[in-house]
Chain A
Amino acid sequence: MTPVPRYAHGSRVPGWDTPADLDKDPATIPGRGGSPSVPVPAELRAEIEASMALYPNSHSATLPALQAAQRLHGWCSPEAIEQVACVMGLTPADLAAVATFYDMLETEPVGRHSVYVCTNISCSLSGADALLAAVQEAVSEAADGASEFNVRAFECLGACDIAPMASVDGVYVGPLSLADVPALLDDIRAGRPVLPEKQLAKRACADVEANR
């Protein structure tokens, strides 16, 4: 029997092996109970406060708030989380717990444009794994790959009718072939609509009897 790499699956989770830094102060709510406040960009503060006002309990605004902070900072950095914590009156830990739970909230720095390639069953039955590999390869070979692109295998994106597909900064495109990859990346770089003819938004219902 071949030996399984013994620790291969061990430290895949960032954080498991990290101790607390005893020189740091405890992370309490910034700006409350004597702990120092953190500066928050005015627009971010306004956006978070507007979200908080929408709900009977402002705690509900954690996701919109973190999403807003991620748009501003590029990811849910410790700094971003502290800013949200300061505005919402929560501990940064409460927000980190939320941020690490959801796939779309990035807790490591990532490239500017997200390219989620769906690799769930229907898409992989249609070749998503090869598509993902092709996108990853193209990006890793590009000089601007790491800064411009955040390529991720993603769970079912709810567009199995256009499998294999990807979500580019939220825009669904598919079905994609390997040949589409260069154009896809070029469109992203150029800030153009990505693969306009393959966008889900333009697709008619598959049911031929619909619209009756």
Chain B
Amino acid sequence: MPRPEPKTITFTIDGLEVQAPENVMLVDAAKHGDVEIPVFCYEPKLGNPVGACRMCLVEIEGIGKLQTGCSTPVKDGMVVHTQTERVKIAQQAVVEFLLINHPLDCPVCDKGGECPLQDITFGWGPGHSRFIEPKRHFVKPLELSPTIAIDRERCILCYRCARFSQEISEDHQLVLLERGAHSYISTFDGHPYVAPFSGNIVELCPVGALTSLPYRFRARPWDVEDAGSVCTLCPSQCNVTLTVRDDRVLRVLARQNDEVDDGWLCDRGRFAYPALGGDERITEPLIRDGGELRPVSWERALEAAASGLKRAGERTGAIAGGQATGEEGFLLARLLREGLGSPHLDSRRAGTLPLELHRALSDPALQAKISDLEFAHSVLVLDADPIEDMPILDLRLRKGVRRHDMKLLEASSEDLPALRELALSLGQHGEDVVILWHERLTAGPNGPAATQALLEIAASLSMSEVPGAGLLEIPAGSNGRGLREAGVLPNAGPGLCELDDAPGRDARGIAEALIAGELAALYLLQSDPLEELPERDLWEQALERASTVVAHASFLTDGLRAHADVVFPSEAYAEKEGTVVHPDGRLQRLRPAVARPGKFGSTLAGWQVLAKVASRLDLDLGVLTGSMASQQLFDAVPFYAGLTLEEIGGRGVRWQERETAVTS
């Protein structure tokens, strides 16, 4: 589907000639001239403007009435005034109207200090009110859901939250009830507003009407710090801003990145943060002593891990979990291959994929990016359930269907002839088709055939040539793609390069070998096979048989509690430094927002633990800082060549879009 090609035009605003992309709304165009037009209801993320709050009224020469800047597309030669007496009177009038029933409870309002209504009142309001009637008073705050409180006194009826529910998440649970001055935001018959993305309404609210219950009264905007990072709770890898106070994460906000998340967060990403500072976190190294895991010094734990691994030597296997960074994975691979001489490591859940297929699937020309989902003629969701596998895509797919007439279809790889027929019918006139598929397609006895079929379909649809077409894989782990590219695979090194030696065992093979006694030790990097990998029974046995199990973990899950011999506390994403790779190939940078749990100064980062274990195995990994680990990774992966953390920055970089984008 054709994407809009912005054309630059020149218009005049407050006497200033300004260039802006044609047809963007005046409020956005004005920013190009450093002119701010105040808004409440306007939020481009929510789709078409509604022009309800009337805050953005401006004067346009040649048009009699004042116009809403949020809904007037800028045209070449347009002459706009935002500072005239007429506009000022209208702006002051709207502020006065909005405030007549708005309570004066800013001192006890969570929004105070970061409130658009405060700011706009200060900047564009009349400075006084002539309303002497009693204001409305209601019971407040009320629970709207287990995580969201509603204060109807403060609501200025901008409809952002209801529009989110109607037009973005399309759950249609949050609506306006009643009419006119009686209107209020509510759900049906007292049902709570519970939906996968409900928390976004708190962030959308331009006043303190919708507040987060976990954040309520925890902090003031002036005593918190914002820290940008990436949520790695799932492969969505949404960009976030963490609100930090006294070294604790108190809130997670979206950090809009249209190429990743469109500025939305799922409720898990938004509300799971209390666990970061929870009592369940592992804060000290543990070793098994008399059947129980007991806290010990770092030194003892490192020693214990190293000696166990040394004993096993090349009979060691390793599994890296989805949340581990590329750097951690890369260092783990070096530890195994160079330090222990073992090729047995894996990060995939779906079993070994022949290297040539792996490479074919990773062909840069075949890779769709997130925004392609929105503009594609059609998207075929194959063996995947976006809301479970990569929730944020649910919103992107809805957006594509709603705003760009994208055709959305679902299919399964169980019936390959039917799949082939369906897929080819979508692109029979050269349309751009995106196939969104999940790693599980490659698993099982049908996996190789399905993978082959997928590649054939991609070829038949000329995906590498049709702009906007392509494949997009959802890996099972959050950083599944990053770990594979870092070489955490049994049959490939960094950058999917061929190994000099014979390939190792994949995850299942490792389990079998442990049971058979062919492998003795297991290194678990942020992975508990009982939780993450299929065939729990098999893994129960394998863990039981393993003589040494070394783990990096944030929480003591069942498998670790029962079987780990050494456990290193592992950082959660808010504490971690390093890079992850988004399913579409975007390298994104994690920045530590708060300190690792544990005694300050005495704790180690994941990469440090790996380096220290390696040195005890007489392998010098050569990393003294987190950025040195990143640099090693970038140097080792051919298609990351020349990359720096600065280049990745806050928005990330898709390696396929860099000049060195070649797979081999």
A binding-site residues for B, Cβ under 8 Å: 4, 6-7, 9-13, 15-22, 24-29, 78, 81, 90-97, 100-101
B binding-site residues for A, Cβ under 8 Å: 133-134, 136-139, 142-146, 150, 152, 171-179, 182, 184, 186-195
- Is the pair A28, B143 in contact by a Cβ cutoff of 8 Å? no
Give the distance to chain A from B610, nearest Cβ to Cβ, in Å: 44
Distance between Cα atoms of A117 and B499 in the complex (Å): 88
- Is the pair B177, A96 in contact by a Cβ cutoff of 8 Å? yes
On chain A, the residues within 8 Å of B186 by CB distance are 15, 18, 93
Q: Which of B138, B182, B190 contacts A21 (CB 8 A)?
A: B190
- Is the pair B188, A19 in contact by a Cβ cutoff of 8 Å? no
- Is the pair A78, B144 in contact by a Cβ cutoff of 8 Å? no
Name 12 interchain pairs, CB-CB below 8 A, sorted by A: A4-B133, A15-B186, A19-B150, A21-B192, A22-B145, A25-B194, A27-B191, A92-B191, A93-B172, A93-B175, A96-B177, A96-B188
Nearest to A13 among chain B residues (CB) is B182
On chain A, the residues within 8 Å of B144 by CB distance are 19-20
Distance between Cα atoms of A145 and B138 in the complex (Å): 32
Give the distance to chain A from B406, nearest Cβ to Cβ, in Å: 19
Distance between Cα atoms of A20 and B188 in the complex (Å): 9
Give the distance to chain A from B388, nearest Cβ to Cβ, in Å: 13
Distance between Cα atoms of A21 and B193 in the complex (Å): 10
Distance between Cα atoms of A166 and B273 in the complex (Å): 60
**How many CB-defined contacts (below 8 Å) exist between A and B?**
107
Nearest to B155 among chain A residues (CB) is A16
On chain A, the residues within 8 Å of B179 by CB distance are 100-101
On chain B, the residues within 8 Å of A101 by CB distance are 178-179
On chain A, the residues within 8 Å of B152 by CB distance are 16
On chain B, the residues within 8 Å of A22 by CB distance are 143, 145-146, 192
- Is the pair A15, B184 in contact by a Cβ cutoff of 8 Å? yes
- Is the pair B188, A91 in contact by a Cβ cutoff of 8 Å? yes
Q: Which of A6, A11, A18, A29 contacts B134 (CB 8 A)?
A: A6
Q: Which of A17, A29, A95 contacts B138 (CB 8 A)?
A: A17
- Looking at A4, A26, A29, A96, the one whose CB has the most chain B CB atoms below 10 A away is A26
Q: Which of B136, B143, B172, B182 contacts A20 (CB 8 A)?
A: B143
Q: Which of B138, B177, B182 contacts A97 (CB 8 A)?
A: B177
- Is the pair A11, B138 in contact by a Cβ cutoff of 8 Å? yes
On chain B, the residues within 8 Å of A25 by CB distance are 191, 194
10 new A-B contacts, CB < 8 A, other than A22-B146, A28-B171, A97-B177, are A15-B186, A16-B138, A19-B150, A20-B191, A20-B192, A21-B190, A22-B192, A78-B189, A93-B172, A100-B178
Distance between Cα atoms of A25 and B189 in the complex (Å): 11
- Is the pair A10, B190 in contact by a Cβ cutoff of 8 Å? no
Nearest to A99 among chain B residues (CB) is B177
- Given A7-B137, A26-B194: A19 and B142 interface contact (C-beta under 8 Å): yes
Distance between Cα atoms of A20 and B147 in the complex (Å): 12
- Is the pair B174, A93 in contact by a Cβ cutoff of 8 Å? yes
- Is the pair A96, B138 in contact by a Cβ cutoff of 8 Å? no
- Is the pair A9, B187 in contact by a Cβ cutoff of 8 Å? no
- Given A6-B137, A20-B142, A20-B144: A97 and B176 interface contact (C-beta under 8 Å): yes
- Is the pair B173, A27 in contact by a Cβ cutoff of 8 Å? yes
On chain B, the residues within 8 Å of A94 by CB distance are 172, 175
Distance between Cα atoms of A12 and B182 in the complex (Å): 9
- Is the pair B177, A20 in contact by a Cβ cutoff of 8 Å? no
Which 9 pairs, one residue from A and one from B, show the smallest C-beta to C-beta distance?
A19-B142, A97-B175, A27-B191, A26-B194, A91-B172, A93-B188, A92-B188, A20-B192, A27-B188
On chain A, the residues within 8 Å of B133 by CB distance are 4
- Is the pair B177, A18 in contact by a Cβ cutoff of 8 Å? no
Give the distance to chain B from A182, nearest Cβ to Cβ, in Å: 34
Distance between Cα atoms of A18 and B133 in the complex (Å): 24
Distance between Cα atoms of A90 and B175 in the complex (Å): 13
Distance between Cα atoms of A86 and B234 in the complex (Å): 34
- Is the pair A26, B173 in contact by a Cβ cutoff of 8 Å? yes
Distance between Cα atoms of A81 and B174 in the complex (Å): 15
Distance between Cα atoms of A4 and B137 in the complex (Å): 14
On chain B, the residues within 8 Å of A29 by CB distance are 172
Give the distance to chain B from A91, nearest Cβ to Cβ, in Å: 4
- Given A19-B143, A96-B175, A101-B178: A26 and B184 interface contact (C-beta under 8 Å): no
Q: Which of A7, A11, A24 contacts B191 (CB 8 A)?
A: A24
- Looking at B136, B143, B173, B188, the one whose CB has the most chain A CB atoms below 10 A away is B188
Give the distance to chain B from A12, nearest Cβ to Cβ, in Å: 8
- Given A6-B137, A9-B136, A16-B138: A100 and B177 interface contact (C-beta under 8 Å): yes
Distance between Cα atoms of A93 and B173 in the complex (Å): 5
- Is the pair A81, B188 in contact by a Cβ cutoff of 8 Å? yes
Distance between Cα atoms of A141 and B190 in the complex (Å): 34
Distance between Cα atoms of A97 and B189 in the complex (Å): 11
Nearest to A19 among chain B residues (CB) is B142
Distance between Cα atoms of A184 and B187 in the complex (Å): 40
- Given A6-B134, A6-B137, A27-B188: A17 and B142 interface contact (C-beta under 8 Å): yes
On chain B, the residues within 8 Å of A19 by CB distance are 139, 142-144, 150, 190
Q: Which of B139, B150, B173 contacts A28 (CB 8 A)?
A: B173
Distance between Cα atoms of A26 and B189 in the complex (Å): 10
On chain B, the residues within 8 Å of A6 by CB distance are 134, 137
Distance between Cα atoms of A34 and B485 in the complex (Å): 39
Q: Which of B143, B176, B182, B189 contacts A27 (CB 8 A)?
A: B189
Q: Which of B137, B176, B191 contacts A26 (CB 8 A)?
A: B191
Nearest to A77 among chain B residues (CB) is B189
- Is the pair A26, B192 in contact by a Cβ cutoff of 8 Å? yes
On chain A, the residues within 8 Å of B187 by CB distance are 20, 26-27, 93
On chain A, the residues within 8 Å of B182 by CB distance are 12-13
- Is the pair B134, A90 in contact by a Cβ cutoff of 8 Å? no
On chain A, the residues within 8 Å of B137 by CB distance are 6-7, 10
On chain B, the residues within 8 Å of A16 by CB distance are 138, 152, 184
Give the distance to chain A from B146, nearest Cβ to Cβ, in Å: 6
Nearest to B143 among chain A residues (CB) is A19
- Is the pair A21, B134 in contact by a Cβ cutoff of 8 Å? no
On chain A, the residues within 8 Å of B194 by CB distance are 25-26
Distance between Cα atoms of A68 and B78 in the complex (Å): 51
- Given A13-B182, A91-B171: A20 and B176 interface contact (C-beta under 8 Å): no
- Given A18-B190, A22-B192: A13 and B173 interface contact (C-beta under 8 Å): no
On chain A, the residues within 8 Å of B173 by CB distance are 26-28, 91, 93
Distance between Cα atoms of A22 and B143 in the complex (Å): 8
Distance between Cα atoms of A93 and B137 in the complex (Å): 25
On chain A, the residues within 8 Å of B175 by CB distance are 93-94, 96-97
- Given A10-B137, A94-B175: A18 and B142 interface contact (C-beta under 8 Å): yes
Nearest to B180 among chain A residues (CB) is A101
Distance between Cα atoms of A24 and B190 in the complex (Å): 8
On chain A, the residues within 8 Å of B176 by CB distance are 97
Nearest to B191 among chain A residues (CB) is A27
Distance between Cα atoms of A12 and B152 in the complex (Å): 14
